[in-house]
Structure 1
Amino acid sequence: MKTGVLFIHGFTGGSFEVRPLVNYLSSKTDWRMSIPILPGHDVTLELGKVSAESWLMEAELALRKLQKEVDRVIVVGFSMGGLIAMYLALRYKIDKLVLLSAAAKYISPRNLLEDMGIMLAESVTKKYPPNTFYHLYEYKLMHTPLRAIIEFLRIVKTVEPYYGRITTPVCIVQGKKDGIVPFASAEHLFKKIGSEKKELIKSELGKHHICYSDDCDNWFGEVFEFMKQKEFV
């Protein structure tokens, strides 16, 4: 049975936000990995004319494509991508959900960008060449228009009323040191989500960009075990 994993990055972000987990899974499996870039995102931000609908549609198209290529699909969503992952779970049959630092409550986008700057300076440079991502930070901070922030909040409001209708097995990973999405938000989501099978993994050292946490190797293994489990109905 062929497995595919769809990764959905966060607001103003790109594939680098989930790359460490992608690399980990690729080293352990032959699973098909899909990491679409949401409109207006990636190295050059063009967020002035994008919409919540365009982000949701891009994720839907990537999911449909992956479903044609594999037998079972796991969706991993980081931050805003966690909300989009839940949106997909409400509309499509997927096998597992993994929500990383899911933005289930209102967050400050500017604080998110500032946290990204800290993450790029402190964490990424430990594992990657110093200039791999850092040059993106100031650019992102200066090129995120109010319109894009409003569209981000529209996604929050679109998904929030329907947490209880989600029945997909879900694993929520949340950092205890996340200054963007408080740990209480993950606990709230864990209680509200309708899935019978659900797990909440705490990263004691995790900040918002949790795939770069100093203890990521610990929870990567826990998430992998969750992903491997087959559901029998």
Structure 2
Amino acid sequence: MREPVMKGAEAFYKEGNEVGVIVLHGFTGTTQSMRPLADAFAKEGYTVACPKLIGHGTTPEDMEQTTAEEWIQSAENAYAWVKNKCERVFVVGLSLGGTLSLYLAANKEIDGIAVINPAVDVPELVAMAKSELRFVDSIGSDIKKEGVNELTYHKTPVRSLKHLRNLMSKVHEQLSEVRAPLIVFVSEEDHVVPPENGQMVFDMAFSEEKELVHLENSYHVATLDNDQDLIIERSLEFFDRHINAKVE
């Protein structure tokens, strides 16, 4: 039986028009980190699915029992919900959410993808996965803006890091299968995922239309940081541009 969900970590689903946006949070994080984006997209009339990834938003001990396949399933379930209601589907993801967004783009019919500090090659996390400890320190709440905190776990299950390592490797190998229009947001200073990951995704994706946006005033959890408004604005422009392009 799963643990109770933290207050503020609940999944968010909102029916709107025939354009759907899946919004995916990061590793050991929660939907709290993505709600500003999800709320902004819903306010514009889009159908929004912001799932709580299995094992997240409860306890580190609960997360320890989950697998990367279950995180993928969480994303695929959100995709199925949106696809059942919408003609077009966009995906937006932070960190692990970016990794899962790329997975969906490589394996499903996606109209556009926006990733924020996506994780595909993180040597420090891979090294942490080799620890003989059961838990290591928290990797959450890397935010530059004062007074803002991410709702995240206070410790990280090593078993989960091993699943993350394997998922990053799988998605890294599938980047050439990503063909949908792509926008990559990259924080110039990130203490969790090296900024080179964003450049790697940009370079290796086979999307004909892609752009790289540098975030100069945010750390890893940029969706809660100083560049939050920029991410929302550019994402909405991205959706609008590719919706209209397809109509034409």
TM-score bucket (shorter structure): 0.7 to 0.9
Counterpart-to-counterpart distance in 1, 2:144 and 2:58: 14
1:124 aligns with 2:148: yes
5+ residue gaps, structure 2, are 1-16, 129-135
Whether the aligned pair in 2 keeps the contact of 1:123 and 1:212 (CA below 8 Å) is: no
Residue number in structure 2 paired with 1:44: 59
RMSD: 2.3
- CA 1:171–1:117: 2 relative to 1, 3 Å: closer
> What secondary structure is seen at the aligned counterpart in 2 of 1:181?
coil
Deviations 1:174-220 (Å, cap 9, x if unpaired)? Answer: 11121222222211211111100101111111210011221322332
Counterpart-to-counterpart distance in 2, 1:203 and 1:113: 26
Deviation for aligned residue 1:113: 6.5
TM-score by length of 1: 0.85
Counterpart-to-counterpart distance in 2, 1:49 and 1:120: 31
Deviation for aligned residue 1:228: 1.1
The letter of the residue matching 1:90 is A
Whether the aligned pair in 2 keeps the contact of 1:174 and 1:202 (CA below 8 Å) is: yes
Residue number in structure 2 paired with 1:129: none
The within-5 A match list for 1:99-178 is: 99-106=115-122, 108-109=124-125, 116-119=140-143, 122-124=146-148, 140-142=153-155, 144-178=156-190
Whether the aligned pair in 1 keeps the contact of 2:142 and 2:221 (CA below 8 Å) is: no
Deviation for aligned residue 1:104: 2.1
> What secondary structure is seen at the aligned counterpart in 1 of 2:207?
coil
1:205 aligns with 2:217: yes
TM-score by length of 2: 0.80
Counterpart-to-counterpart distance in 1, 2:91 and 2:146: 28
More helix by share: 1
> What secondary structure is seen at the aligned counterpart in 2 of 1:82?
helix
The within-5 A match list for 1:66-81 is: 66-81=82-97
Residue number in structure 1 paired with 2:7: none
Deviation for aligned residue 1:121: 8.2
- CA 1:21–1:61: 2 relative to 1, 3 Å: same
The within-5 A match list for 1:8-27 is: 8-27=24-43
Deviation for aligned residue 1:118: 4.9
Residue number in structure 1 paired with 2:45: 30
The letter of the residue matching 2:24 is I
Whether the aligned pair in 2 keeps the contact of 1:34 and 1:62 (CA below 8 Å) is: yes
> What secondary structure is seen at the aligned counterpart in 2 of 1:221?
helix
